Amino acid sequence: MKIARAVATALLTLAGVARADGAGSQSLYVYSTINALLAGAYEGDQTVGSVRQHNDFAIGTFNGLDGELVAWDGVFFHVRADGSVKPASDDERIPLVYALPFKPTVSSELGADAAGSLKALEASLDKQLANPNAFWAVQIRGRLASVTTRAIPRQARPYVPLAEAAKHQATWTRTDLDGTLIGLRSPAFSAGISVPGWHWHFVSGDKSIGGHVLAGSLSSGVLRAQELTRMQLELPATSDFLAVDQRDRSSELKQVEGAR
């Protein structure tokens, strides 16, 4: 029997304070799930152009697991394992993305406690951002003492799980540079759909380096942040998504987020 292909769209209202009319509450758009990506569902039918219609801020990847997606101010960047950082074109396809129209309500200079390591930055933000049970979108423009990023090379079928593919990732470390960190903090209960805790992507000011952030140390920076109490989850209609085993993959997630 053939499984009917249908786009399943679920609207979930999370964490209390969203009003019925949605006023004052922007929605986080999620296409696919982190567990599907961990399991090897690397092809989606979503496009950069379609995501960009309603969103100007995003973290994700591209079909075939071809590098890393990072977007702010409506510019979607494609960071590849060959080290290139280029604007993505509208017809590029996406297997997983977290996107939103960024309307920050928090703006502040980061304090000295945010310097030294990614962990220190995250601990400092956790103190500032009031509700740990909401999603938070964060943009930091700043000076970094160091940053280590990665991008995974485009995969070919048959796809192996992400923990396997990530063994072939390209990594770069740079010191003393300007850049933009794009972060999403997801609550613990969103495990399986998102990466619980912080997830960072980066592009340097000169666009010479970018990717998924494995480690880093901020010297100074300006934070802009937005709380999100709504999430719109769209499940891909691809055969990959239908077929993969989306069991608990939290230990695999730790491996691939790693190197902190």
Q: Which residues bind Zn ion (CB under 5 A)?
A: 212
Nearer of residues 185 and 212 to Zn ion, judged by Cβ: 212
Q: By the 8 A CB rule, do 177 and 144 touch?
A: yes
Closest separation in Å from C-beta 34 to Zn ion: 9
Name the residue whose CB lies closest to Zn ion. 212
Closest separation in Å from C-beta 259 to Zn ion: 13
Nearer of residues 15 and 63 to Zn ion, judged by Cβ: 63
Nearer of residues 212 and 230 to Zn ion, judged by Cβ: 212
Closest separation in Å from C-beta 67 to Zn ion: 10
Nearer of residues 78 and 212 to Zn ion, judged by Cβ: 212
Closest separation in Å from C-beta 150 to Zn ion: 9
Nearer of residues 14 and 256 to Zn ion, judged by Cβ: 256
Which residue, 211, 236, 199, is CA-closest to 41?
A: 236
Closest separation in Å from C-beta 199 to Zn ion: 6
Contacts 24+ apart (CB under 8 A), 81-89: 81/151, 81/152, 81/153, 81/154, 81/169, 81/170, 82/170, 83/151, 83/170, 83/172, 83/209, 85/203, 85/204, 85/207, 85/208, 85/209, 85/210, 88/48, 88/62, 89/48
How far apart are alpha carbons 99 and 137 in whole angstroms? 9
